[in-house]
Amino acid sequence: MYEIKLKDGREKAARHHHPWVFSGAIESVEPEREEADWAKVYSASGEFIAYGWYDEKSHIILRLLSWNDDEEIGEEFIRKTVRSAVTRRRSFFSLPDTTAFRLIHGEADFLPGIAADVYGREIRIIVSARFADTFLPVIASELERLLHPALIEAVTDRQFAGAEGLSEKTRTFTGGAETKGQPERDNVRFLESGIWYESAPGRSQKSGFYCDQRESRNAAERYAAGKTVLDLFSYTGAFTLHALRGGACRVDAVDSSESALRHLLYQIHLNEDMGVILAGSRDKVTITAANAFEHIRGIREDFYDMMILDPPKLAKTKSQLENAMKAYKDLNRIAMMKIKDGGIIATFSCSGALSREDLRKAVSWAASDAGVEAQILASLGAGEDHPVRLSFPESEYLKGFIIRVLK
Digit-by-digit pLDDT tens for the chain (407 residues) are 999 999 999 999 999 999 999 999 999 999 988 899 999 999 999 999 999 999 999 999 999 999 999 999 999 999 999 999 999 999 999 999 999 999 999 999 999 999 999 999 999 999 999 999 999 999 999 999 999 999 999 999 988 899 999 999 999 999 888 988 777 777 889 999 999 999 866 544 454 688 999 999 999 999 999 999 999 999 999 999 999 999 999 999 999 999 999 999 999 999 999 999 999 999 999 999 999 999 999 999 999 999 999 998 887 777 888 888 999 999 999 999 999 999 999 999 998 888 999 999 999 999 999 999 999 999 999 999 999 999 999 899 999 999 999 99
Taking the CB of residue 329, how many other CB atoms lie within 10 A of it? Answer: 21
- DSSP 8-state symbol, 91: G
DSSP-derived 3-state class of residue 400: strand
Residue 287 contacts residue 264 (beta carbons within 8 Å):
yes
**What is the domain class of 2-66 according to CATH?**
mainly beta
* Local structure of residue 94 (DSSP, 8 states): G
pLDDT at 332: 98
Looking from the CA of 236 toward its CB, the CA atoms found within 13 Å total: 21
Nearest CA to 348 out of 332, 337, 333, 364 is that of 332
Is-contact 130 69, C-beta < 8 A? no
| Cα end-to-end span (Å), the chain | 63
Q: Are strands 250-255 and 285-289 parallel, antiparallel or unpaired?
A: parallel
Phi, psi of 91, rounded to the nearest 5 degrees: -65, -25
Q: Which CATH architecture has domain 210-406?
A: 3-Layer(aba) Sandwich (3.40)
- Give pLDDT, residue 318: 76
pLDDT for 158 equals 87
Beta carbons of 238 and 213 less than 8 angstroms apart = yes
For domain 76-179, is the CATH number 3.10.50.40?
no
Predicted confidence at residue 180, as pLDDT, reads 84
> Can you give the pLDDT at residue 201?
60
Cβ atoms < 10 Å from Cβ of 268: 24
Helix, strand, coil percentages (3-state) for the chain, rounded to 5, are 35, 30, 35
- Contact indicator for 349, 399 with CB cutoff of 8 Å: yes
**Vertex 338: Cα angle to 334 and 342 (nearest 5):** 115
**Spatial separation of the C-alpha atoms in residues 285 and 297, rounded to whole Å:** 20
Beta carbons within 8 Å of 169's beta carbon, 6+ residues apart: 155, 156
CA 375/CA 404 separation, integer angstroms: 5
- Please state the φ and ψ torsions of residue 287, each to the nearest 5 degrees: -125, 145
Decide: pTM greater than 0.85: yes
d(CA 273, CA 386): 31
d(CA 325, CA 331): 10
Q: What pLDDT shows up at residue 262?
A: 95
Domain extents in the chain:
2-66, 76-179, 210-406
Beta-bridge partner residues of 126: 115, 155
